[in-house]
Amino acid sequence: MLVGNWKMFKTIHETRHFAEVLGRNVGKLSADIDFAVCPPYTALQVAKVVLPAQILTGAQNMHQAEDGAYTGEISASMLKELGVTYVVLGHSERRQMFAETDGGVRDKVEAAQTAGFVPIVCVGENDSEREAGQTMAVVGRQTRIALEKAAKDGDKLVVAYEPVWAIGTGKTPSPADAQAVIQGIRKVVAEVLGEDAASQVRILYGGSVKPGNIAQFVSQPDIDGALVGGASLDPESFVAMAQSMTTA
């Protein structure tokens, strides 16, 4: 699975341009890979219309309430009308800059699944937690709490391991280290949702993924794909990553 998280990048006009270039390269996209991009809310509608059919869309966040006095927030039913498949939840930028909590992410996961979306739950340790040897403790806690109210169906869930220190820095864990953490996450999924869910759930790696390094991550046994920020903004680079995954 290859997912582009566009963060706060791309206007409607720029989204159209991305789709045009991708459309010309659509023959290079393997039918064995699930593709998605997660544009800002303002470009979700146009993205659904102009992107090739095999590129699904995801939102970058969602409020857990059905509706209400929550200025600036977006509900599941609003996303439903836009044909969204996935919702990224608990991204570290939201945890760090917008005070999202483990419990809040849990409530959003429940609301997103109830609405029929597949949440992409992001977990990851920061630099000091990593240096203190707390990676698995932090990632395990984030995963356990996020899944407390989740469906026991691994098809309805994606988890992304994104070490905070690797996001937008050009630094990455070694593929073996990412594999070890993701194997640990799969164990936690088994504890919370059962073995069947754990074997079905897709767990992605994210953090400074680009065409030149994606193959080494996705060829690890427990890594089912990548969640990509910066390198997903350029359509040529998105296609190059898709091609590297095919040969990995």
Ligand X SMILES: O=C(CO)COP(=O)(O)O
* Residue list for the binding site for substrate: 5-7, 168, 208, 229-230
Closest approach of ligand X to the CB of residue 218, in Å: 14
Which positions lie near ligand X, rule CB under 6 A? 5, 91, 162, 167-168, 206-209, 227-231
Closest approach of ligand X to the CB of residue 88, in Å: 7
Is 66 one of the annotated active-site residues of the chain?
Answer: no
Closest approach of ligand X to the CB of residue 149, in Å: 23
Is 162 one of the annotated active-site residues of the chain?
Answer: yes
φ/ψ (deg, to 5) at 114? -60, -35
Which residue is catalytic, options 93, 100, 110, 162?
Answer: 162
Considering beta carbons, is residue 211 or 230 the nearer one to ligand X? 230
Closest approach of ligand X to the CB of residue 167, in Å: 4
* Residue list for the binding site: 5-7, 168, 208, 229-230
Considering beta carbons, is residue 10 or 91 the nearer one to ligand X? 91
**Measured between alpha carbons, how far is residue 70 from residues 59, 75, 159 in Å?**
18, 10, 27
Considering beta carbons, is residue 15 or 172 the nearer one to ligand X? 172
Closest residue to bound ligand X by CB: 229
Which residue is catalytic, options 91, 93, 100, 110?
Answer: 91
Considering beta carbons, is residue 105 or 167 the nearer one to ligand X? 167
| Residues designated as active site | 91, 162
